[in-house]
């Protein structure tokens, strides 16, 4: 798993542009909970989906 994927990190789902920007809420093993702008909270299995790291600064929201 990407070492930058930790609580507070900003990410995007590689196949769901419509979900918008997401902020990682929690990481438990390969399960990551992300709160996306347009999809709400989603549980992502990082062995199936590789999240795209955007930033580690919540002030970087676009």
For residue 1, give the 3-state DSSP assignment: coil
Instruction: Please state the domain extents for the chain.
Output: 10-56
How do the pLDDT tens digits run along the chain, 62 residues long? 677 789 999 999 999 999 999 999 999 999 999 999 999 999 999 999 999 999 876 565 54
pTM of the model: 0.86
pLDDT for 56: 76
Q: Give 59: exposed, middle or buried? Use CB within 10 Å, 0-12, 13-18, 19+.
A: exposed
pLDDT for 4: 76
Task: Check if the beta carbon of residue 61 is closer than 8 Å to that of residue 10.
Answer: yes
């Amino acid at each position: 798993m990407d070492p930058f994927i930790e609580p507070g990190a900003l990410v995007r789902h590689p196949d769901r542009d419509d979900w918008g920007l997401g902020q990682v809420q929690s990481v438990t093993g390969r399960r990551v909970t992300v709160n996306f702008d347009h999809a709400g909270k989603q549980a992502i299995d990082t062995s199936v989906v590789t999240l795209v790291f955007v930033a580690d600064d919540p002030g970087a929201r676009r």
